[in-house]
DNA sequence: TTTAAATTTTTTAAGCCTAAAGTATTTTTT
DNA sequence: AAAAAATACTTTAGGCTTAAAAAATTTAAA
């Protein structure tokens, strides 16, 4: 009978996580659009590239972000058009390409990232450091078939 | 200086929430597709309608789910095609329509919902009841400009 | 009552997203 | 070396998503 309750409690937790996540994402989306004329997927891609000095293969990018490879193709196409990113041939393997931030892309992201952190800090105002730490620890050992970094 | 650390910790928490949420959503998406030939957005819409006996206006549905109104139109169109949902005229206001589950839709959702709870329960196996409760409480007073129910 | 404003929904254009199929290239097997 | 399998990426078709504009109707104001 307590297993039943536990199951319901976990379901409730999931629904709340989903609600909060969507709300935060929606806020970020709007601010990125109005204040930086960009989108959340673009931001995520640039963040992954920014974190990795030498850029990433399309492959690694899609695994890192947990999105399909075809998806990444489109986002990179548009980032290239905007001059934020460039595709660089990999010597020794003509199938793969490495994707890097341009100088303009790096500068642009750096500015956005600082603001992004402030937005998050404000949105999570209700969470104290010990709570953040505690929840973070729990989440860390949750569903993560692919856990790299983060 | 501790404000700096707190900010970083909140950012880290957000990134983990995002990672876990995406992973869970991705799992749900795949299972709904392979085992019930449906999608997560369809499931979400049906859940909202199932919870409310008399159905909802398009209006309420989009607010409830935190998605744009135009978005709901398309999902409902497809659910109507599949015979899961019907649009019902509202007497006294020819602008609005009420959307209801059909009997088939209700039966179909009921089956999916039971499985859905089992999936979530298994995915969140690492979370004990007291933790679920604790985190749930925290999330409850987080970014929620529109908090109804849930 | 006529006009103006607000409400409810749909349409449109552009981008995001996935699964599956396709193309090119490299590696492994035979 | 030739065939088969694996890898890296793009393309395609269909659905999801949003913001903004449009259409229809109702409500409020003049």
Domain ranges of chain A: 27-113
Instruction: Centre a 10 Å sphere on the Cβ of residue B109 and count the other Cβ atoms it contains.
Output: 22
Which bases of strand C have any atom within 7 Å of the beta carbon of a protein residue?
Answer: 7-13, 15-21, 24-27
User: Over 50: is that where the pLDDT of A150 sits?
Assistant: no
pLDDT of residue A146: 39
Torsion angle defined by CA atoms of residues B24, B28, B29 and B31, in that order, rounded to the nearest 10 degrees: 140
Q: Phi, psi (5° rounding) for residue A124? A: -100, 25
Burial of A68-77, coded b for 16+ CB within 10 Å and e otherwise, reads eeeebeebbe
Non-local CB neighbours of B62 within 8 Å, separated by 6+ positions? B68, B69, B71, B72
Mean pLDDT across A91-101: 95
A111-116: list long-range contacts, CB under 8 Å, 24+ apart: A111/A36, A112/A32, A112/A36, A112/A38, A112/A43, A112/A46, A113/A47, A113/A50, A115/A31, A115/A35, A115/A36, A116/A28, A116/A43
* Closest-CA residue to A128 (of B79, B142, B92, B73): B142
pLDDT of residue A61: 95
Asked whether B7 and A127 are in contact (CB, 8 A), the reply is: no
Element (H, E) at A71: helix A69-81
pLDDT of residue A147: 41
Residue entry with tokens 């949105």: A123
pLDDT of residue A108: 96
Q: Which two tokens stand for residue A113?
A: 């990232």
Is A17 an interface residue toward B (CB < 8 Å)? yes
Q: Between A and B, how many residue pairs show a Cβ–Cβ distance under 8 A?
A: 150
Is A33 an interface residue toward B (CB < 8 Å)? no
Q: Which two tokens stand for residue B54?
A: 């008399």
- Is the CB of A31 within 7 Å of strand D? no
Asked whether A26 and B136 are in contact (CB, 8 A), the reply is: no
- Is the CB of B69 within 7 Å of strand D? yes
Mutate to test the interface with A, among B5, B16, B125, B137 (most CBs of A within 10 A): B16
Query: Residue B143 — pLDDT band, cuts 50, 70, 90?
Result: low
Fold of B20-140: Arc Repressor Mutant, subunit A (1.10.10)
Asked whether B23 and B31 are in contact (CB, 8 A), the reply is: no
Tell me the pLDDT of chain B averaged across its residues: 90
Q: Which two tokens stand for residue A150?
A: 């983060």
Instruction: Give contacts of A 78-117 with B, CB under 8 A.
Output: 117
Closest CB from A12, A26, A142 relative to B126: A142
pLDDT digits (tens, 9 = 90+) for B28-86: 999 999 999 999 999 999 999 999 988 999 999 999 998 999 999 999 999 999 999 99
The CA–CA distances, whole Å, from A127 to A10, A118, B7, B83, B137 equal 20, 14, 10, 44, 11
- Tell me if residue A82 falls in helix, strand or coil: coil
User: Over 60: is that where the pLDDT of A10 sits?
Assistant: yes
Distance from CA of A94 to the nearest CA of B (A): 31
Fold of A27-113: Arc Repressor Mutant, subunit A (1.10.10)
Mean pLDDT across B96-113: 96
pLDDT of residue B3: 84
Query: Residue A144 — pLDDT band, cuts 50, 70, 90?
Result: low
CA distance B138 to A20: 11
* Closest-CA residue to B24 (of A60, A6, A17): A17
Mutate to test the interface with B, among A3, A5, A14 (most CBs of B within 10 A): A14
Non-local CB neighbours of B142 within 8 Å, separated by 6+ positions? A20, A123, A124, A126, A127
> In the beta sheet, which residues pair with residue B56?
B99
* Closest-CA residue to A142 (of B145, B123, B115, B108): B123
pLDDT of residue A143: 61
Asked whether B133 and A12 are in contact (CB, 8 A), the reply is: no
pLDDT of residue B41: 96
């Amino acid at each position: 009978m307590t297993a039943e309750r536990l199951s319901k409690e976990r379901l409730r937790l999931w629904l709340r996580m989903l609600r909060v996540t969507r709300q935060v994402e929606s806020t970020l989306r709007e601010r990125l659009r109005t204040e930086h004329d960009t989108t959340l997927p673009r931001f995520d891609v640039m963040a992954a590239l920014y974190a990795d000095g030498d850029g990433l293969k399309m492959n690694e990018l899609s695994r890192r972000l947990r999105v399909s490879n075809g998806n990444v193709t489109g986002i990179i196409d548009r980032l290239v058009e905007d001059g934020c990113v460039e595709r660089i041939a990999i010597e020794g393997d003509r199938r793969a390409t490495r994707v890097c931030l341009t100088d303009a892309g790096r500068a642009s992201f750096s500015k956005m990232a600082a603001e992004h952190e402030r937005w998050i800090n404000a949105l999570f105002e209700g969470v104290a450091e010990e709570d953040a730490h505690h929840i973070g620890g729990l989440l860390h050992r949750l569903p993560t078939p692919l856990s790299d970094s983060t």
